[in-house]
Amino acid sequence: GDSVTQMEGPVTLSEEAFLTINCTYTATGYPSLFWYVQYPGEGLQLLLKATKADDKGSNKGFEATYRKETTSFHLEKGSVQVSDSAVYFCALYKAAGNKLTFGGGTRVLVKP
């Protein structure tokens, strides 16, 4: 079945450091890919998405490129802030089933 694997955390960074969270997927067909963020005590918020190969999703300084050849969708941000501390989830969507399949989540802690 479909699956998403992302790097385990926690990832601890200093403010203004570069952030990368690796995400790879296994799926047949052509899924859409998403990054969601979960702040403490909150639900999930969509951070960015890409619906086809080579698409780049971007939002709030975060970027991710849909790489079909490596089945990856790595999340990057050039300069993190303390407010970026959260848990980040990579997910894929396929129309058949109309559901999101999530990775295990990566906790990011940014220190001042």
Partner 1 sequence: KAGVTQTPRYLIKTRGQQVTLSCSPISGHRSVSWYQQTPGQGLQFLFEYFSETQRNKGNFPGRFSGRQFSNSRSEMNVSTLELGDSALYLCASSSQTGMNTEAFFGQGTRLTVV
Instruction: Return residues touching partner 1 (CB under 8 A).
Output: 32, 36, 41-46, 49, 51, 89, 93, 95, 97-105
Encoded amino acid at 49, one letter: K
The least distance separating partner 1 from the CB of residue 14, rounded to whole angstroms, comes to 27
Continuous H helices in 1-99: none
The least distance separating partner 1 from the CB of residue 22, rounded to whole angstroms, comes to 16
Which residue lies nearer to partner 1 by CB, 17 or 24?
Answer: 24
Which residue lies nearer to partner 1 by CB, 60 or 111?
Answer: 60
Cα distances (angstroms) measured from residue 78 to each of 1, 13, 31, 33: 34, 12, 27, 21
Which residue lies nearer to partner 1 by CB, 16 or 91?
Answer: 91
The least distance separating partner 1 from the CB of residue 104, rounded to whole angstroms, comes to 5
Any residues with CB less than 8 A from the CB of 38 and at least 6 apart, and which?
44, 45, 86, 87, 88, 89, 105
